């Protein structure tokens, strides 16, 4: 069942001090994925001023004691937008925020929630990477978000948890954080709901569009992390980008793509073929051309994956 904010009662929103007129014209699509568990689905296009840099997916989990928000947005304004939609869905204030990763829209809204006394939770390794990249991310966002970035500071979690797994009980809900390996960014994690068998995968999974291999990404360990997430056997995955999916869809759009990239560039790097040859030989991948952003991103993905694997040999 798919829900949209306009079709929901605004009474909870008003109760927490918001008004319909203050809501941004932009909104994410709200989709119920289980009882009290919702996905907020952002566009698969680039960050823009109009979408507040929220070209990603987020999660809203209702509990007996308040709302859990999965990821906090790319700015103070983006965080407020996510909060408004979360309150509409649950009728309860946001009491906890969980960061699944390091890219800007996963965590730069933390400061807004921390200023309200909301507990922001992340693994220590995630926080370390956020602190490494935060200032550069703000610099990159400024030309896009302009004054909508005002007041945004790179504040990481108020509650940092050591280790690779955190088992939380928040308002009666069991939620686990799993670090499997460095993926889109070092320190990315999966938020796992064991009772519902739902994975909020963060940037481990992209569906409907080609994933982005950045200079910070490690395609080889990202594939390992994806396969480890598969071992949880999720019934549903709320991906970092794209529509809510089952495991087969995630495999087709992310797992198979990463396997193609990793196997191809490793073989070429072992032969010392060179990055230009790798892009020429792997740049035509018609089996993935159905995915949005393929033409814009694929050849760059091959190049960056090759250069990293070559450097690490």
pLDDT, tens only, 260-289:
999 999 999 999 999 999 999 999 999 999
Q: Are 24 and 30 in contact (CB under 8 A)?
A: no
Q: How far is CA 44 from CA 9, 212, 224, in A?
A: 27, 12, 24
Q: What is the pTM of this model?
A: 0.92
Could you tell me how far CA 35 lies from the centroid of its own chain?
A: 22
Q: Which pLDDT score, from 0 to 100, does residue 22 have?
A: 41
Of residues 10 and 153, the one with the higher pLDDT is 153
The rounded distance, in Å, linking the Cα atoms of 68 and 96 is 5
Q: Which pLDDT score, from 0 to 100, does residue 60 have?
A: 99
Torsion of CA 210, 140, 186, 79, to 10 degrees: -90
Residues 291-303 have a mean pLDDT of: 98
Q: Which pLDDT score, from 0 to 100, does residue 245 have?
A: 98
Torsion of CA 22, 25, 28, 34, to 10 degrees: 50
Q: Which pLDDT score, from 0 to 100, does residue 224 have?
A: 98
Of residues 2 and 119, the one with the higher pLDDT is 119
Q: pLDDT digits over 232-262, tens only?
A: 999 999 999 999 999 999 999 999 999 999 9
Q: pLDDT digits over 17-58, tens only?
A: 454 434 448 999 999 999 999 999 999 999 999 999 999 999
Q: Are 178 and 229 in contact (CB under 8 A)?
A: yes
Q: Which pLDDT score, from 0 to 100, does residue 20 have?
A: 40
- Under CATH, what is the fold of the domain 2-312? Metallo-beta-lactamase; Chain A (3.60.15)
Q: Which pLDDT score, from 0 to 100, does residue 313 have?
A: 83
Mean pLDDT of the chain: 93
Residues 191-205 have a mean pLDDT of: 98
Q: How far is CA 279 from CA 241, 260, 312, in A?
A: 25, 13, 18
């Amino acid at each position: 069942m798919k829900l949209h904010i306009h079709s929901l009662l605004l009474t909870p929103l008003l109760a927490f001090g918001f008004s319909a007129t203050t809501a941004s014209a932009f909104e994410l699509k709200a989709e119920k994925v289980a009882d009290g568990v919702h996905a907020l689905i952002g566009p698969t296009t680039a960050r823009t001023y109009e979408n507040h840099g929220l070209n990603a997916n987020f999660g809203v989990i209702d509990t007996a004691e308040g709302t859990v928000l999965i990821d906090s947005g790319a700015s103070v304004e983006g965080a407020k937008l996510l909060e408004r939609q979360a309150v509409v869905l649950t009728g309860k204030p946001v009491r906890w925020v969980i960061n699944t990763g390091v890219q800007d829209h996963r965590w730069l809204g933390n400061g807004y929630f921390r200023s309200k006394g909301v507990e922001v939770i992340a693994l220590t390794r995630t926080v370390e990477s956020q602190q490494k990249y935060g200032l550069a991310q703000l610099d990159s966002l400024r030309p896009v978000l302009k004054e909508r970035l005002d007041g945004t500071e790179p504040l990481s979690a108020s509650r940092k948890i050591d280790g690779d797994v955190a088992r939380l009980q928040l308002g009666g809900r069991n939620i686990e954080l799993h670090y499997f390996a460095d993926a889109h960014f070092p320190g990315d994690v999966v938020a796992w709901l064991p009772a519902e068998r739902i994975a909020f995968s963060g940037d481990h999974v992209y569906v409907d569009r080609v994933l982005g291999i950045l200079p910070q990404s490690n395609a080889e360990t990202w594939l390992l992390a994806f396969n480890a997430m598969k071992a949880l056997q999720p019934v549903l995955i709320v991906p970092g980008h794209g529509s809510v999916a089952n495991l087969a869809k995630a495999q087709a759009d992310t797992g198979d793509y990463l396997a193609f990239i990793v196997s191809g560039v490793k073989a070429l790097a072992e032969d010392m073929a060179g990055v230009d040859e790798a892009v020429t030989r792997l740049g035509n991948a018609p089996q993935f051309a159905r995915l949005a952003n393929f033409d814009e991103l694929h050849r760059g993905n091959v190049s960056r994956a090759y250069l990293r694997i070559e450097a690490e040999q």
